[in-house]
Chain A
Amino acid sequence: MQSKVKKQNAAKRAENKTARWLAAPGLILIGIFTIIPISLALTLGFTNAQLLAPTNPDFTGLNNFKTLLGVSAVTLHAAKQPDGTCAVDENGEIAYEPLRPLTRDNSPRKDLRGKSEVKRIFANAEKCSVLVVVAGDPVFWRSLTNTFFFALIVVPVQAGLALILALLVNQRLRGRNFFRTVYFIPTLSSMVVISMLWRFMYQQDGLFNKSISNFMPGYAPIDWLGNPKTAMPAIVVLSIWQAVGYHMIIWLGGLQTIPAELYEAVRMDGANKWDEFKHVTIPGLRHTFVFILITITIAALGLFVQINVLTQGGPLDSTSTLVFQSFTRGYQRQEIGYGSAISFVFFILVLVIALIQRSMTKRLDT
């Protein structure tokens, strides 16, 4: 009896030992190339590390984050003329006092030092005043809003369009494999290739402008990627075009797990197509829905390649994103410390969104 126990223990130990050997190479590599970089991202943000500096980085506390996240506001005034209107400059614009002396390093207002203007709001004609929002890093706030703008459009549109495509090619259509393949091919090609191709089509004398002007004589060609108003929407369109086929396949996988009997059952009850969709298809796709939501959201928040190839964040920072800014600061300007601080903020953002979506999953499951 005792020897049997001993034997079992020996087997357990052998299992434990072999498991560790099998797991070791993968764990060591994940440790070095994932866990250490995560720890670095979380710590380098508190230093002034430079990429190629020979000296060791200094600990600078919250400095990077103060610059990155620092926001303040100041009211500027213009002289009031006897007739009650505000003084104007030679361009006819209201001549407010200059902001510059207030943001210098010797500014009387400590909270404004080193900051730059983001936006002027609440212009008051009575008092001849305007509220100026200033930030330590206006590009960061532009990048943050751009990133969210991109995600808020891409996530629902791409998920919805992918579902429409999946429903379309899930029917018994002749040639449906051909259709699936065509919708999927842009996904295979790299985003770099797709971006270059669309760059050619978006040009002033490119495919889109020339085609439109063939139908509409007198149409003034738009510089799609060179105009702050159209650059981001242009990137949204090409991004959805490239990636939607991938999520179509995921939806298809979900559709095929729904048992055919369920459809037959509701059909017996006299349900029409819409009832089928509402009572069988949608509930059957819950898990797929959450997965798609999470993957598209994370991919959208990481928007980078398109920006790097097409616009470099321009024009006027209208297409700068968090990851792009972190790349510019950390790699091109070699300010690893500051770039890591941006990565840190991005990391927290992704984490929070993933947790929110995770809790949504739990609610859907019950």
Chain B
Amino acid sequence: MKLNIGRFASYFGAIVFTVIFAFPLVFMVMSSLKPDFNLLQDVGTMRSFLPVGPISFDNYVGVYDRIPLLRFIFNSLLVSTITVVLGLFVNSMLGFALARMEFRGKNFVFAVIISTLILPFEVLAIPLLYLMVKAPWISFNGGFHITQGIFNNYQVQILPFIANAVSVFLFMQYFKSLPKELDEAALVDGASWFMIYRKIAMPLAGPAIGTVSVLTFLPMWNSYIWPVMTVQDEEFRPIMIGLQYFYVNFGTAWGQIMAYLTILTIPVVILFLSMQRFFVNSIATTGIKG
């Protein structure tokens, strides 16, 4: 009997929390389907959580008309994908070297990577901005020129985020878990270390690759502060910056804003549902190993 009360309390708690976590999101999606008048009228009643009244996709059409939506989506996908792909190479190579090979200065490199793990990006954003404004870049304009400043382009959104201490750490942990005999056997067979990395370690690193991809893609898709500071041209702007277009007449187009927030959220939720295993494993293991 006592057990049943416990179970009942658990279900009750789980459902209460479900309501707490779900209601703003349900509210967001439902509001995105309503004209502003109905949306504001429904606020504060149960109707705001239900698809009732004149339901349509007008707000989504409105978003499409107001901002260069497809351009922004393309930019975000491009920047995120390039960063993920380059990051997979760079970080796995460094992680492999640290996990399985001996080289001079290894302990120092390891210490540097661990200590950058605790630094929030926000601390580095201002000096990094200064660096990018002053940095030289080779541009092609009929011939090669050296110009000053890396901003207002794709590079500035990609370059600083390719190498990542967390990704290096995750790859390192994974490569450490593979049996050492693999390397020894391959070396006896005359394979080079680079071959071991490419033909043995990487093909076995599926789970780590999945985890790192997800953990890189998400913050890149969601990035906001860095592009606000470095990208002024609409041509290169990522999707999160699109929100600024709705600040102008703030308070007048809530339906469109809710539609845009829904557009921003849906891809990551789909990504999560399709790669849930990687997500949950990655986060859970960082906790255990950290």
Could you list which residues of chain A lie within 8 angstroms of chain B, going by C-beta atoms?
11-12, 14-16, 18-23, 25-27, 29-30, 32-38, 40-41, 44, 49, 51-52, 165, 168-169, 171, 173, 175-176, 178-179, 181-186, 188-194, 196-198, 200-201, 205-207, 209-211, 213-214, 241, 245-246, 249-254, 256-257, 273, 287-288, 291-292, 294-295, 298-299, 301-302, 304-305, 308, 323, 326-327, 330-331, 336, 339-340, 343, 346-347, 350, 354
Contact = CB atoms under 8 A, between A and B. Distances in A.
B252 interface: no
Contacts of A35: 112
Given A15-B103, A193-B265, A241-B20, A323 B122 contact: yes
B287 A323 contact: no
A173 B17 CA distance: 14
Given A23-B103, A41-B123, A207-B43, A33 B159 contact: yes
A173 B103 contact: no
A302 B24 contact: no
A43 B223 CA distance: 27
A81 to B, nearest CB: 52
Interface string B79-120: 000000000011101101110011110100100110010111
Q: What does DSSP make chain A's interface, helix, strand, loop or mixed?
A: helix
Contacts of A291: 286-287, 290
B125 A197 contact: no
B283 A23 contact: no
Nearest to B89: A25
A214 B45 contact: yes
Nearest to B187: A11
B69 interface: no
Interface string B191-204: 01110010000000
B57 interface: no
Contacts of A22: 93-94, 96-97, 101, 193-194, 197
B123 to A, nearest CB: 5
A164 B189 CA distance: 53
A32 B106 CA distance: 19
A179 B17 contact: yes
Given A29-B159, A30-B113, A44 B257 contact: no
The list of the 3 closest CB pairs from A to B, nearest first, reads: A253-B284, A210-B44, A190-B222
A330 B131 CA distance: 13
B10 interface: yes
Nearest to B262: A193
A124 B10 CA distance: 57
A206 B43 contact: yes
Interface string B248-279: 00000010011001001100110011001001
B14 A168 contact: yes
Contacts of B133: 51-52
A330 B129 contact: yes
B41 to A, nearest CB: 10
B68 interface: no
B283 to A, nearest CB: 5
B25 interface: yes
B283 A18 contact: no
Nearest to B98: A23
A176 B140 CA distance: 56
B21 A330 contact: no
Contact of A302 (B13, B14, B120): B120
A287 B113 CA distance: 21
B157 interface: no
Contacts of A26: 90-91, 93-94, 163, 168
A211 B89 CA distance: 52
B116 A34 contact: yes
A190 B14 contact: no
B21 A41 contact: no
A33 B130 contact: no
Contacts of A29: 90, 159, 162-163
Contact of A336 (B17, B21, B126): B126
B103 A19 contact: yes
Given A197-B24, A206-B43, A323-B122, A192 B222 contact: yes
B224 A185 contact: no
B120 A298 contact: yes
A32 B161 CA distance: 11
Nearest to B183: A15
B48 interface: yes
A33 B129 CA distance: 10
Contacts of A292: 287
Nearest to A38: B124
Contact of B287 (A20, A182, A254, A302): A254
Given A25-B94, A207-B27, A326-B122, 10 more contacts: A16-B104, A29-B162, A41-B124, A52-B133, A168-B13, A197-B27, A245-B21, A253-B288, A305-B224, A331-B126
Contacts of A25: 89-90, 93-94, 163
B46 to A, nearest CB: 10
Contacts of A343: 123-124, 126-127
Contacts of B96: 22
B97 A23 contact: yes
B67 interface: no
B236 to A, nearest CB: 18
B65 to A, nearest CB: 20
Nearest to B267: A188
A340 B126 contact: yes
B200 to A, nearest CB: 14
Contact of B118 (A23, A51, A209, A350): A350
